[in-house]
Amino acid sequence: MSQKKKRIALEAAEAAAYRERKENYLSAEEKEFRTRLNKMRAKDAYIFLAVIGAVTEKKKRKEHEKPKFQTKKQAAAIASEVKKELKAMAPMPTPPYTVISPAPGLSLLSPSALCDYFISRRPRIDAITDFDNCLPGTDYCQVIYDELFPLASIGKGISSDDRIAMDIYVKQLCDNFGATITSIANLCLGNAKLFSLINVKTKRKGVRNTKRLAAPVVVISTTRGGKSLGVKCKPIKYAKSYTVAIGTGDDVSLYKQYVGSSNQLIENLNGGDLVNVVMWANTGKKAGFPSVAQPIRVPY
């Protein structure tokens, strides 16, 4: 052992002996205090590590997910499943005609998710002979997919040129595969059950509201200009327009009414007048419940 190492080992041994002698002279209270302090430090370190671990896990979830590669075996399994479902539907009576409005939401998908979406639906479409005449065909969309897949797999290290190319292919695949899905919906001739085999979402039918709309919570502003009042409320579901009524007295039907949006500017009022402001939402011809009348002084 070298002289330097011997000196370091000797100094370490002396420091350890000094700490041991010092510990022996500590009172019982001081020893208990040190024990508690060490436990607190250990607990804080555990919490710190747990937080660091949670943050790391969160970062892992945000990492780029590459598109999944589909093998021929996987595609064949999907097609086989669809053919079984189609065979089970054959003896059943044709369901009633339904207007089919596809809602695949392709433009909301990331490049990777778009690749996964297309490659998981193509085997389903190809398995149904009724969809052989869809335009554009799945083969045409496959060509775009083959160009997009390697670019979508790059992730954060993608160059600016590759990103421009990827954006172009994303738009092309969205437009063309969206057109394919629309073509398939037309080929289904209103058979929603047949369309459901390709696993694409459809728009729900609009439900007509027959209830009277609730009274809005109105906010009035006197800082929108002289002889003017700003009247607004939060938009109410199913409302097509809003009526603001301004006047005096108890009979609201005699007030002057202004029909517009949920945020209106009422101008050309008489400055200094004390008026009541009432607002309600409308569904076509039906008026909702009126708000509480609010007295307000019209600014000059």
Residue 17: alpha-carbon gap to chain centroid = 64
Domains of the chain from N-terminus onward: 72-198 (no CATH), 218-297 (2.60.40.10)
d(CA 109, CA 171): 11
What residues does 296 pair with on adjacent strands? 275
Tell me phi and psi for residue 117, to 5 degrees.
-65, -50
Phi (first) and psi of residue 211, to 5 degrees: -90, 155
The 10s digit of each residue's pLDDT in 175-185 is 999 999 999 99
pLDDT attached to residue 239: 92
Helix or strand run (H / E) with residue 263: strand 263-266
* Residues 58, 63, 67, 69, CA torsion sign: negative
CB atoms within 10 A of CB 198: 23
Of 229, 240, 221, whose CA–CA distance to 284 is shortest? 240
What's the pTM?
A: 0.53
The pLDDT tens digits for 173-227 are: 999 999 999 999 999 999 999 999 999 999 876 666 668 899 999 999 999 999 9
The model's pLDDT over 137-162, given as tens digits with 9 standing for 90+, comes to 999 999 999 999 999 999 878 999 99
Residue 58: which pLDDT band, with cuts at 50, 70 and 90?
A: very low
